[in-house]
Amino acid sequence: MAPQTGTNSVDISKMLVVNSSGEVATVGVRSGSGKQRLVVALMLLLILAAAALVRALNLGYPTLFMDEYDHVYAAQSILKTGKPELPSGYQYTRALPYTLLVAASFKLFGVSEASARVPSVIFGVLMVLGAFLLGAYFHNAYTGLLAAFLTAFLPLTVGWSRECRMYSMFAFLYALLVLCFYKGFEPEGKADVPKHSLKSVDFRWLIGAGVLLALAYSVQMLAGLFLFGVAAYCAMMFVFLWAKQGFKAAAASKYSAVLLLGLASFAVLASTPMLGKFWKLSQECPPYARWKARMYSFYLPVLFDSKFHWLALLGAGILSARGRKGIYFLAVFITRFCSTALCWRGNPKIHTLSVHIILGFYIGWGGLGFQNGWHRESSF
């Protein structure tokens, strides 16, 4: 039977460009699906508008809590002296790019609780857009819309988009980092080059990912944990390639090159005080948080104590059969979650904010995975 070329079908997955290996080649829709693209665009705009509304409504209330004052005082000091100083004289350089944005907001709108939180609102809305981009690229536009909807209204994502802290900015940058690295490391459209070859890499996207990683790290040092996800992904792909094409092919692959580079970089880092400093900081725990120190299961209710957790688990199960894209997403999620739970002694809930975007994607995949079917890659 000849495929339908009209736009009457509501199944956008049939309009997405999907190759035989189960890879979604583009976020967009084929030329014959202008109506579907328009519907997706309108729905996304509505979700973004609603996300902006729930984040901006009564933004000046309640009053600032203790951590917000760090950015407020530092931003006021930048406007007066050019230096991010607290009243004590201590220079507060943590998440300096965010503090600079708070200072810009003060200059534009004056100093108030609401203006201090404007940057978080902006990045909170962009975080919703990031969730859509992840879902649309790694599955389809409908999954992206569902991930965006959940990110727009989950209490944790809304709450921290209304605080004068850097977490919504970090979550948005982290989502872009996850997408940008994959587009560079596993690019599409190079059919004449083996996928595991170093020649298949698009360094333009990888340079962009490097810039995003540096910026995200300057906002929140947890961005460095992304490298563990990359290492886990390359290790799994190395094993799969070894099993399928032999050790020689695996050793000559880009996955082997990344692992060797990672080991060399870790050895260099271990010879400097930076690694010890990072570990010492991760082990700091204020008195009020000592009750949950070393409580390794602390984050499980935060992530999965909802009516949607079974969809997230279903999505993760379907994702495991999606080849490169599925393995990559699982590696990034699991290593990020486990390293935070096992290494960060204080167990702050906010450290899961960037993971919530990925969780929303899992829920979207679980909810729509059986609608469109799923494919195992034919080859690595």
3-class state of residue 24 by DSSP: strand
**pLDDT value of residue 220:** 87
**pLDDT value of residue 332:** 84
Q: Establish whether the linkage from the previous residue to 187 is cis, with ω within 30° of 0.
A: no
**pLDDT value of residue 307:** 59
User: If we measure between CA atoms, which residue out of 128, 115, 219, 130 comes closest to residue 166?
Assistant: 219
**pLDDT value of residue 82:** 94
Q: Establish whether the linkage from the previous residue to 84 is cis, with ω within 30° of 0.
A: no
CB 214 within 8 A of CB 97: no
CB 340 within 8 A of CB 225: yes
**pLDDT value of residue 373:** 42
CB 177 within 8 A of CB 205: no
**pLDDT value of residue 17:** 39
Instruction: Measure the CA–CA gap between 47 and 144, rounded to whole angstroms.
Output: 11
Instruction: Measure the CA–CA gap between 93 and 71, rounded to whole angstroms.
Output: 9
The burial of 89, by beta-carbon neighbours within 10 Å (0-12 exposed, 13-18 middle, 19 or more buried), is given as: exposed
Q: What are phi and psi of 28, to 5 degrees?
A: -75, -175
**pLDDT value of residue 108:** 96
Distance (Å) of CA 360 to CA 45, 159, 313, 315, 372? 18, 16, 11, 10, 18
**pLDDT value of residue 295:** 56
CB 358 within 8 A of CB 134: yes
**pLDDT value of residue 371:** 46
Distance (Å) of CA 51 to CA 15, 44, 157, 262, 377? 28, 10, 10, 39, 36
**Low-confidence residues of the chain, pLDDT below 70?**
1-32, 278-279, 281-322, 337, 339-380
User: If we measure between CA atoms, which residue out of 88, 109, 84, 112 comes closest to residue 98?
Assistant: 84
Instruction: Measure the CA–CA gap between 333 and 340, rounded to whole angstroms.
Output: 11
**pLDDT value of residue 161:** 93
Instruction: Measure the CA–CA gap between 95 and 355, rounded to whole angstroms.
Output: 19
Residue 24: strand pairing partners: 18
**pLDDT value of residue 143:** 82
Q: CA 318, 133, 257 angle in degrees (round to 5)?
A: 70
Q: Residue 210 CA to chain centroid, in angstroms?
A: 14
**pLDDT value of residue 122:** 97
**pLDDT value of residue 305:** 55
**pLDDT value of residue 194:** 86
Q: Which helix (H) or strand (E) holds 54?
A: helix 34-56
Q: Which helix (H) or strand (E) holds 17?
A: strand 16-18
Instruction: Measure the CA–CA gap between 239 and 243, rounded to whole angstroms.
Output: 6
Q: What are phi and psi of 220, to 5 degrees?
A: -155, 120
pLDDT one-digit tens code per residue, 93-127:
999 999 999 999 999 999 999 999 999 999 999 99
3-class state of residue 85 by DSSP: strand
Instruction: Measure the CA–CA gap between 44 and 38, rounded to whole angstroms.
Output: 10
Task: For CA atoms 234, 238, 239, 241, give the dihedral sign.
Answer: positive
